[in-house]
Structure 1
């Protein structure tokens, strides 16, 4: 029995009780209004509800008395073994073994679809993440967003949303000029400009630009030479970034170039739209957005007095572009150093007539630190100053890197211990989960060799305490995924998988799928094979949501 079925049973019991009391009104009450959740302490049962506490005032009853009346009616429901009232009026429900065990077959029959839902149907999401400047390799902060963003896109999709992964290339402005000057200096054997970019990759790109240029690049005038290095160098950097992300298992649907906004007139169109809405004013020769009307701490210059666009001009044009492309949810994932942008971005959305936090959502991620031998690791052979995506993957592999970066809340700084991630032990969380999945396949192979198959299913036989705990965790998977989508926190799926792996390992130690010695094969063994395979399916579904492989052998 799943929570939806139990909520329906509760509704069937509650409705006549409320009507008999003739107090208040429960008109319009549906099963969706009745809270059913797993108790924190599994000794209290399989499910718990606070329905009596919520409805007591409406029906004019003491909460505990109402809970007792509801419990008495609920006990007659098929599949329920017992109902208890706890505290001021909580209702704890324990399922009989058959009702609980039926889940194993449900999961196996559903396969990859188990855990999917429709809670986000109708949401058309533009998810913008990474968006590193094309002036160097992707550093650890961007790598964290690559893992988290791609996982979040998978989770949104699993819940019915239409998701577009988008990468915003900042290929316009001062940082690109500094990149071009750095390439020219490296090509000419000169020191890196004071405000330029260093690292071995700059020399690598400079050499490639010189070889790729059609002609002798040194014959160009200085301005033309810098422009050639800018155009070709940025193109090479784009390709390197895309290749690195692809190797990390992250591909984008749209690569949007900031430069296009300025060349296409999109900035002027955004300003015109805001002017029509009455939110633009002129002062001191500059064009301003009256963003203080929408909660910003000060009004913002859009076009400076010298006629050059301020940085926010691109933000205005880009946001309007997304909304005109039909996205009703624009989610942007930014690093901790962009925290100051949130207020102005929300004011921008409100100025266009949108609802901040709904049409525009901004997620802020904290810093990532690598630790090796108990000490921070800061240097990269290639970048010269920071650790890159390629550095991390080279040391621990794609799966360990992705899992390590996604298993913690992005609200907190993350220390990644390379020594732990290189271990093939239970101390390594990704190994722990992947090994549990591989073990389910090993059990399946051994079962087939021993003649145990899924030709029978007797869920009432799944009565061992470790089976009850495992089934309880399996039942939680759809709720965990739906909640991870709601709160934008993929780490909840990872932590769930670790808990599930632990419960599976304990079950494996206590319950045999394959008979010992000359013992006959019984329906208990066949039914346990269903439970084994169901666990493997959920582990696989969860790892897939995180973009991590689910190996069948380890």
Structure 2
């Protein structure tokens, strides 16, 4: 708040000492905070195609039009001075209040208008991402979709569990009341975007997650993103050795000298990659990809430690380099899909 006030003072001086300020302060504050959020998300490599303002639903009268429509269709009723939505018609445990007795709206009213707006724009498959404390919202939203003419089966609601920040072996306590919180910007500055993205995606959405801030900055194999990036860097180092020693690398199409039992794990994992991508995409399970990358990195590290890859035998060397090059391509592709970079040297 102090920072926003300083920006207003810098831009307008003493203007608001003599002029109305409420609406201007509100809009300036919203714009300032939203710009900060957009920058943080961009630095986290998250960019939205469209930002939608809830206020626009009020400005266009869509909230009131939605309420009028629900009343006309008989989906609402009055009780105790409030307006209720008949969500029990679609399996909800009780009907939900749309307009409270003091005539203010509940969150459900603009939420219904927003989903109706999406349907009007031609979207047929809707995906909502909600926090774990909104689990009870599922049935009322599906009921609302039905009331405004949509198919509730085409509304998917993903429930995300909470993330605890751990530092020094202890949970970092946060409190809305005291204003103590860890922001995305804090985490980006503390551990970096690569580590943060990988560790967030490492767990299934519906499982609780402990984000170990100390582990995230460790340069050791305990750190999952380091472990995968190091596998990529190790392969890069092999090709630098080839350049330094003037070893001509030629890709091969089959392996004639390598023993199958020594390369079978890598081959099988490489063959699985398209299936992993398909499952992660169609079932919206991105953690399947991070698990796969960790398994592939483990197999690469094992192969690297057990086998001398560059030898005097050019045939064997080219076969091994061809294999690890394929691994490197998949590692880079997989990390890229979750927005994590690769490192040539570590």
Secondary structure of the corresponding residue to residue 206 of structure 2:
coil
**Distance change >3 Å, CA 208–CA 462, structure 1 → 2:** same
Contact in 2 for aligned 1:364/1:410 (Cα 8 Å): yes
Deviations, residues 255-275 of structure 1 (Å, cap 9, x unaligned): 100000011021233335545
Aligned counterparts of 2:101 and 2:174: Cα–Cα separation in 1: 42
Aligned counterparts of 1:323 and 1:441: Cα–Cα separation in 2: 49
Please list every run of 5 or more consecutive structure 2 residues that lacks an aligned counterpart in the other structure: none
TM-score (normalizing by structure 2): 0.91
The structure whose RCO (Cα within 8 Å, separation 6+) is larger is 1
Q: Which residue of 2 aligns with 1:199?
A: none
TM-score (normalizing by structure 1): 0.58
Aligned counterparts of 1:429 and 1:218: Cα–Cα separation in 2: 55
Q: Which residue of 2 aligns with 1:280?
A: 75
Question: Offset of 1:411 from its aligned partner?
Answer: 1.5
Q: Which residue of 2 aligns with 1:397?
A: 192
Aligned counterparts of 1:307 and 1:422: Cα–Cα separation in 2: 51
Deviations, residues 269-322 of structure 1 (Å, cap 9, x unaligned): 33355456x342342465443221111222233344555433211111100111
Aligned counterparts of 2:91 and 2:146: Cα–Cα separation in 1: 9
Give me the CA root mean square deviation.
2.3
Give yes or no for the alignment of 1:309 onto 2:105. Answer: yes
Q: Which residue of 2 aligns with 1:484?
A: 280
Secondary structure of the corresponding residue to residue 349 of structure 1:
helix
Q: Which residue of 1 aligns with 2:11?
A: 212
Between structure 1 and structure 2, the one with the greater Rg is 1
Question: How do 1:251-270 residues align onto structure 2 when only pairs under 5 Å count?
Answer: 251-270=47-66
Give yes or no for the alignment of 1:552 onto 2:344. Answer: yes
Contact in 2 for aligned 1:466/1:506 (Cα 8 Å): no
Contact in 2 for aligned 1:279/1:351 (Cα 8 Å): no
Question: How do 1:73-112 residues align onto structure 2 when only pairs under 5 Å count?
Answer: none
Contact in 1 for aligned 2:75/2:147 (Cα 8 Å): no
Give yes or no for the alignment of 1:425 onto 2:220. Answer: yes
Out of 158, 161, 165, which is 1:366 matched to? 161
Contact in 2 for aligned 1:466/1:503 (Cα 8 Å): no
**Distance change >3 Å, CA 305–CA 377, structure 1 → 2:** closer
Secondary structure of the corresponding residue to residue 21 of structure 2:
helix
Question: How do 1:463-478 residues align onto structure 2 when only pairs under 5 Å count?
Answer: 463-478=259-274
Secondary structure of the corresponding residue to residue 151 of structure 2:
coil
Give yes or no for the alignment of 1:320 onto 2:116. Answer: yes
Secondary structure of the corresponding residue to residue 67 of structure 2:
helix
**Distance change >3 Å, CA 225–CA 510, structure 1 → 2:** same
Out of 266, 290, 298, which is 1:494 matched to? 290
Q: How many aligned positions are there?
A: 342
Aligned counterparts of 1:373 and 1:219: Cα–Cα separation in 2: 52
